[in-house]
Amino acid sequence: MNVFKEFFELPAEDKAGIYSEDLKRPCRLYTSSSNYDHENVHLWRDNLRHPCHPLEDCIKIWPLKPTRYREIVATYSIEAKKLGLRILELLSEGLGLGSGFFGDKLSDSLLLSVNHYPPCPDPSLTLGVSRHCDPNLLTILHQGDVYGLQVFKDGEWIGVEPLHNAFVVNIGHQLQIISNNKLKSAEHRAVTNSRVARTTVAFFINPSDDCVIEPDKSLIDTDESPAYKPFQFKEFLLNYSSLMGNPEKCLEPFELHA
Ligand SMILES: O=C(O)CCC(=O)C(=O)O
Ligand SMILES: [Fe+2]
């Protein structure tokens, strides 16, 4: 976790080279959100994101400072990938799908997203990240040891206290769709605080852009019909970003009604 904190503590001139508001740039640092003019609550966060797979190619575009960033983050991403694939394998077993079901294209794109939330003078006016469900397959989140994550359950926001050296595992929208709603993606957000900076690292396991997502036939019970139509993952992402992750709306275009 320290290397990520050190990254955000670097002088601005060391970070300026990777600062970009261009959504297409694979490795970039940016602040607040791309929806600043229209959002109800502004986001109080900086975010660094970059792909992690294939590692040999991706690593060349990662930050050069702090000097050990590439080495440490490469190890982290290899271990996070192993953990994620292991969890997917267990979920697959639990759902009665074959071994390796979530391998290949369904988990082909790995993305690291590092959030840095500086102390905010008035946390009631900001959020760290607004309410959303993760659009991917699975997220392995390390939330450090500063509180800020909340999950929406039974009509209220519940705090997810950080546990030392523990990960939060989030089911993404794609896992909900493939399981025909047997697994549910949890709505969550991050709040800010006025005392200390908070740094969190999300490792997103995504399908490849052209991967076709649909409810698996074996998970549609005999008295059920598929809840979603087939689509390419990139179509989902396009719609998700145009709706800024709105949890009520972003599944709608892909839903089928019996
Ligand atoms: O920082 C956090 O606790 C949550 C971050 C998050 O939800 C995300 O990056 O998708
Ligand atoms: Fe999230």
Report the alpha-carbon distance of residue 144 to residue 91 in Å, rounded: 25
* Residue 118 structure tokens: 């500086």
Report the alpha-carbon distance of residue 200 to residue 208 in Å, rounded: 24
Report the alpha-carbon distance of residue 9 to residue 3 in Å, rounded: 10
Q: Evaluate: CB of 133 within 6 angstroms of ligand 1.
A: no
DSSP conformational letter for 86: H
Does 37 map to a domain? yes
Residues with CB under 5 A from ligand 2 (ion): 134
Say whether pLDDT at 251 is over 90: yes
DSSP conformational letter for 255: B
Q: What is the mean pLDDT of the chain?
A: 95
**Ligand 1, atom 7: closest residue by C-alpha:** 189
Q: Evaluate: CB of 148 within 6 angstroms of ligand 1.
A: yes
The sign one gets for the Cα dihedral 138, 144, 145, 149 is negative
35-93 confidence digits (pLDDT tens): 777 777 889 999 999 999 999 999 999 999 999 999 999 999 999 999 999 999 999 99
Does 93 map to a domain? yes
pLDDT of res. 248: 87
188-202 confidence digits (pLDDT tens): 999 999 999 999 999
pLDDT of res. 35: 72
Give phi and psi for 80, each to the nearest 5. Answer: -65, -35
pLDDT of res. 27: 97
Does 240 map to a domain? no
Q: Evaluate: CB of 149 within 6 angstroms of ligand 1.
A: yes
Does 223 map to a domain? no
pLDDT of res. 245: 82
In CATH, what number is assigned to the domain containing residue 86? Answer: 2.60.120.330
Q: Is pTM beyond 0.90 here? A: yes
Does 248 map to a domain? no
Does 69 map to a domain? yes
Domain containing 86 equals 1-210
Taking CA 201 as the corner, what is the angle to CA 199 and CA 206, rounded to the nearest 5 degrees?
A: 155
Q: Which atom of ligand 1 is nearest to the CA of 198?
A: 1
Does 231 map to a domain? no
Judged by phi (left if over 0) then psi (alpha if -120 to 50, else beta), residue 164 lies in: beta
77-133 confidence digits (pLDDT tens): 999 999 999 999 999 999 999 899 999 999 999 999 999 999 999 999 999 999 999
**33 band by pLDDT with thresholds 50, 70 and 90:** low
Does 174 map to a domain? yes
Domain count, the chain: 1
DSSP conformational letter for 237: H
Mutate to test the pocket of ligand 1, among 130, 141, 187 (most ligand atoms within 8 A of CB): 141
Report the alpha-carbon distance of residue 221 to residue 227 in Å, rounded: 11
The radius of gyration of the chain's CA atoms, rounded to the nearest angstrom, is 18
